[in-house]
Amino acid sequence: MNRTMKSAIAATSTLASLAVLAAPAAGAPQPAGAQPGDDAMTCEQIAAELMPYMHQVQPTAQEIVATQQRQFEHGLEKGKQRQAEHQVIAGMATAAQFDPTGASKRAYAAAEMAQMAKERREDAAEAASPQAQQAKAQYQQMAAQAQALQGDGRLQRLMQLGQQKGCDRKR
């Protein structure tokens, strides 16, 4: 018997011993949410049994995605507007370099400070906007749903099985 074959047999024997030790004893209570035949489930079967749970959170998840998309688009528009405003101020900075009196530098500094204050006010108003409040409520709803599902023993068992079987890596 060659060395590679001996190593393979030893490894197989060790794995078998570990499997016996890890297997629940006959009549021992099964983990919460476990059902007979769980260990034989395929990734497809696990996914099929997870679908009702996914359907529970899907509407909230879709609402969050739609709200995030609106916020993203609003942010892009706001960014374009601010970029134009910053270009005007940058022009003032360039002009200030050539003004020996310093008046342009003071005007530039005042414009820069005013722009920063305006942006802080806009950001604060955005954070308090109905859209931001809606997003916050949606996230809270999703968190509450996730917390409720966390207590579901069957869901946890299915997630555990999927992870053990490497279902998240099979695509």
DSSP string, 3-36: HHHHHHHHHHHHHHHHHHHHSPPTTPPPPTT--T
Cα separations in angstroms, 169 against 73, 86, 160 = 33, 47, 14
34 phi and psi angles, rounded to 5 deg: -75, 145
Residue 81 has pLDDT above 80, yes or no: yes
Cα 151 to Cα 148: distance, rounded to the nearest angstrom: 6
Mean pLDDT of 47-54: 93
* Closest C-alpha to 34, from 149, 152, 151, 153: 153
Contact, 162 vs 46, CB < 8 A?
yes
First to last CA, the chain: 39
pLDDT confidence of residue 14: 32
Give the start-to-end residue ranges of the domains of the chain: 42-169
Q: What's the pTM value of the predicted model, to 2 decimals? A: 0.61
- Percentage of residues in the chain with pLDDT exceeding 90? 70
pLDDT confidence of residue 64: 94
pLDDT confidence of residue 150: 87
pLDDT confidence of residue 157: 93
Rg, C-alpha atoms of the chain: 30
Which of the four pLDDT bands, split at 50, 70 and 90, describes residue 169? confident
Mean pLDDT of 102-122: 94
